[in-house]
Structure 1
Amino acid sequence: MIANLVPDELWDRIAPLMPARPVRRHRHPGRLPVPDRVALAGIVYVLRKGVAWRDVPASVVGCSGVTVWRRLRDWTEAGLWPRLQAALLTELRRADLLDLDDCAVDGSHVRALKGGITSAPRPSIVPGPAPSTT
């Protein structure tokens, strides 16, 4: 199932961008970490199926949804997603496969200024001063 969620060709592009795993302690090393590809397959599973993290089937993906969520958090803090997006967009541009005729921009990608920049003062929408309550 992992190969269906994260094909070999995609993994070969993504693997070099992954942050380095911390070195395990020699004494009391704890459990082996879940491989990055398995965690990425869990993230793709959640995106495709629209399930909650707790509903990720460990038998299908290879790890629990909590593990997948933690890895997503760690990769987000490490800045993986902007690097991955830039690398894949660059590859698409080089192959002349990037078509920006149909694209969407929202506030998560472009800073939305509060009210924008205006040269004239804005008229008040209040009809007059409020009466005093004293």
Structure 2
Amino acid sequence: TSSENVTALLKVLKKYEPRVNYHIVNVHGHNMTNAHEMQPNAVTWGIFPGREIVQPTVVDPVSFMYWKDEAFALWIEQWAKLYEDESPSRMIIKYVHDNYFLVNLVDNDFPLDSCLWQVIDDMFELLDATPEPLSDEAGSQ
């Protein structure tokens, strides 16, 4: 997402902590998270008769940085190469690669209905209510 969205999202997420964990990073490694440095967060699991809970997918700051490298590399090394060098499509992909953030949100209160759509709605409401450009709390890229 854009740095403007990240700025609004970070403001909105304050009212959802500690329920929602987030990881936000750009291609340059500017990383924002409310997760503990080395504490994994299980995001999918399975419960089967006669077995312990199976937790096959976790999110943690270290893994997210590897995912970041893979995601941004795929945009440039595979997706962008589907288009001619100076084509509008390739230029858009390059712009997203160079300027946008990879975002991961986890709602930790799984017995309740997910609040993540409300987080996104709140972010867009904040953006719509802001007449002037937001300050660059997302940091320089």
Provide TM-score, normalisation by structure 1: 0.24
Bigger radius of gyration: 1
Between Structure 1 and Structure 2, which shows a larger proportion of strand residues? 2
- TM normalised by structure 2 equals 0.23
Choose between structure 1 and 2 for higher RCO, CA contacts under 8 A separated by at least 6 residues: 2
